[in-house]
Amino acid sequence: MPRTLRPSSKLDPAWLQAAIRNIPDFPKPGILFRDITPLLHDAARFQAVIRAFAEHYRARRLQAIAAIEARGFILGGALACALGVSFLPVRKRGKLPWNTCRVTYDLEYGTDTVEMHRDAIRPGERVLILDDVLATGGTSRATAELVQQLHGTVVELAFLIELKALGGRQRLHGLPVYALLQL
């Protein structure tokens, strides 16, 4: 299979967006799901994404990346390796095998909970929070609260895609946000 070449200049949003598949009515009617698996399948695009994140954060003195399951793990693991920093998994309740710290947050209909291991962050550690999509901001805000509960410093929240119409950035209470692609 031929590989798609990376544009010669900065990461081109149209080139990036071309590898994101829109799935209507998934996981439920009325939702337009942004599927990043075609981007992950394209080695040139996936490498370009990790390279763009690494270039943006290289001088920011990060010590850890807290990535949100599941697609955030893919990006977070690759970026943590590229930057030589720790990888911290943020998971749904009951998925981590040791003592955890948790934050429960509101959804449109009900609540959800995210957790991290209690010993994941050293006090004052500089942490980037990373996920694939910023939608309404609930999970990201809860993750920031986890980092802060564990006495870490949230450097920024980073996303491959920000869905601007859903207003997630505004729900993050002034925390700095960086997105490679805004839709």
The catalytic site residues sit at 71, 108
Q: Which residues are CB-contacts of 173 (< 8 A; sequence separation ≥ 6)?
A: 141
Tell me the H-state helices in 33-161: 37-41, 43-57, 71-83, 138-149
Residue 67, both tokens? 């990535």
Residue 110, both tokens? 């009900």
Q: Which of 83, 50, 51, 52 is nearest to 65 (CA)?
A: 83
**Cβ pair 5, 35 in contact under 8 A:** no
CA distance 161 to 154: 19
CB atoms inside a 10 Å sphere around CB 71:
18
CB atoms inside a 10 Å sphere around CB 59:
7
**Cβ pair 105, 139 in contact under 8 A:** yes
